[in-house]
Every structure is written in C-alpha cells, then in structure tokens.
Amino acid sequence: MGKGIEIREAHFPGKAPIDAYGNGGFRFADMSHRGSLLCLPSGIHGWDAVDGDALDERLFQRIFDETADFDVLLVGTGSAIRPIPEGVKTRLRQAGIVSDAMNTGAAVRTYNVMLAESRAVAAALVAV
C-alpha cells in the first residue's frame, strides 16, 4: 500500500511580496496559501493564528527564534486591530525590534513597501 497523503508544514524558502489577501488566505510567488502567514527572513511559513482568536505569546515563538535577522515586525491582527501581547512586545523590544499592530490589509501593504525598499522587515499576518 502507498503512504497516503503526507502533510508538510507550509514553507516558501524566500522573501516575496504578498500579491493578494482575503477569503481566508494569501497569494504570493504565484502560489496561494489558506490560513495565516509568518513572513520571516527564513521564508514564508504557515501560522496557526486565527482571526478573532487571542494572540497568544506561544504563536510568536518562531519569530523569537529569528529576531537577529530583522528590526521591524508588522503584525496584521485580522479584520480588526488588536494589541500585541505585552510579553511579546517586551521580548521584541529587548531584541531591538520595533513592532506595530494593524489590520491585516494595512500590514500587507506596509510589508510590501518595506520589502521593496530592502528593509529588514518581518510580518505576522492573520488571514481574513
């Protein structure tokens, strides 16, 4: 018998602008992804955050693991602006990273501009 379906963690190994968002996902690099995204220097990764759910500090662990490679984190908090948890903001500040929460649409637009300017930017984008 065959192995069946193999589920892999979503990962695009590079930086790419976000071409579109909505309907629960994103389009980038001629691909589409259903769900939330982390856009980090190591690539674009699937993220477990869900619109309307609390932004728990554990959701940011991959970001904490890569803080040496960027100095701005944009957090697209979904359809409404929600605060970044204080513990997350503190850890980012200690690593020299400025964080900014905004709705996902604004975060996508800002991320694309900063990426085009070759800035050291990362984004955590909750799908809407």
Mind listing the pLDDT tens digit for each residue in 93-111?
Answer: 999 999 999 999 999 999 9
Residue 3 clears pLDDT 80, i.e. is over it: no
Where residue 14 falls among pLDDT bands split at 50, 70, 90? Answer: confident
Q: What is the mean pLDDT of the chain?
A: 91
pLDDT tier for residue 17 given thresholds of 50, 70 and 90: very high
What letter would DSSP give residue 97?
Answer: -
SS3 label, residue 115: helix
CA dihedral 100, 102, 45, 22 (to 10 degrees): -170
Domains and CATH numbers, the chain: 12-125 (3.40.1230.10)
In the predicted model, is pLDDT for residue 8 greater than 90?
no
What distance lies between CA 37 and its chain's CA centroid?
4
